[in-house]
């Protein structure tokens, strides 16, 4: 028996069917993603969880492995390219989820509002090796409201002559803000380069020095 209304096309039937299916709300989609992430983590197949967050400096991409925070993508970076890179270098088993990154979001919000001076999150420096790894390990200890020169950072990392290498480690820092490469300046006091742009670097240093007094530079 033909139940189609005379003159009704397949396209019209499809459109009517689509209208009859309720569109899920944002909360329902978030709940579905959370459930999928929980199932994937329970089964041991979630290697990288990622999400975006708003900040005073634009959208940030956060990604974490089971070991800890592995990547922060600044607004000036291509987030899709970062995710592609993580899929190649860490694992393609990735899901959008806040399960591992919610604490980072909370602490970054507190930092941007001036209520946090030190981050307390596990880090995964999987993406750096050798001297760069040494540099970033020492960089974590450069405190809020202070700066260090590239030469000082190279010396602290065990190779005083490797000033350019220290600068390269900062420019390739996969976890900016939490690993504070914005606190590294030139020996003459000028701010130097920054992945997020010099204006962002100046703004971050001004925020920190305004809260903690004049910034001091360790040479």
Give the residue numbers marked as catalytic: 181
Q: Which two tokens stand for residue 80?
A: 């899709």
Q: Where in 36-181 does DSSP place strands (E)? A: 48-53, 60-64, 69-73, 94-96, 146-149
Structure tokens at 100: 């591992």
List C-alpha distances in Å: 13 to 1, 3, 4.
Answer: 17, 11, 9
CA–CA dist 1, 167 (Å, integer): 76
What pairing do the DSSP bridges indicate for beta strands 69-73 and 60-64? antiparallel
Distance (Å, whole) CA 150 – CA 89: 28
Contact 70, 126 (CB under 8 A): yes
Q: Which residues pair with 72 in a beta bridge?
A: 62
Helix pair 130-139, 163-171: axis angle to 10 deg? 80
């Amino acid at each position: 028996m033909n139940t189609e209304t005379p003159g009704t096309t397949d396209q019209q039937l499809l459109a009517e069917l689509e209208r009859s299916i309720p569109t899920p709300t944002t909360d329902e989609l978030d709940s579905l993603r959370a459930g999928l992430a929980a199932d994937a983590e329970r089964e041991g197949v979630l290697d990288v969880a990622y999400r975006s967050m708003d900040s005073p400096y634009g959208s940030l991409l956060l990604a974490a492995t089971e070991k800890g925070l592995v990547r922060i993508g600044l607004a000036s970076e291509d987030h899709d390219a970062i995710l592609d890179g993580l899929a190649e270098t860490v694992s393609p088993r990735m899901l959008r989820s806040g399960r591992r990154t919610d604490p980072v979001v909370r602490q970054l919000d507190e930092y941007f509002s001036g209520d946090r001076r030190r981050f307390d999150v596990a880090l995964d420096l999987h993406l750096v090796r050798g001297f760069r790894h040494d540099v970033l390990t020492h960089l974590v200890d450069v405190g809020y409201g202070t700066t260090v020169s590239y030469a000082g950072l190279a010396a602290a990392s065990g190779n005083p002559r490797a000033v350019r290498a220290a600068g390269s480690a900062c420019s390739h820092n996969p976890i900016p803000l939490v690993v504070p490469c914005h606190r590294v300046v030139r020996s003459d006091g000028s701010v130097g380069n920054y992945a997020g742009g010099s204006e962002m670097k100046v703004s971050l240093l001004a925020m920190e020095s305004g809260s903690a007094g004049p910034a001091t530079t360790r040479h």
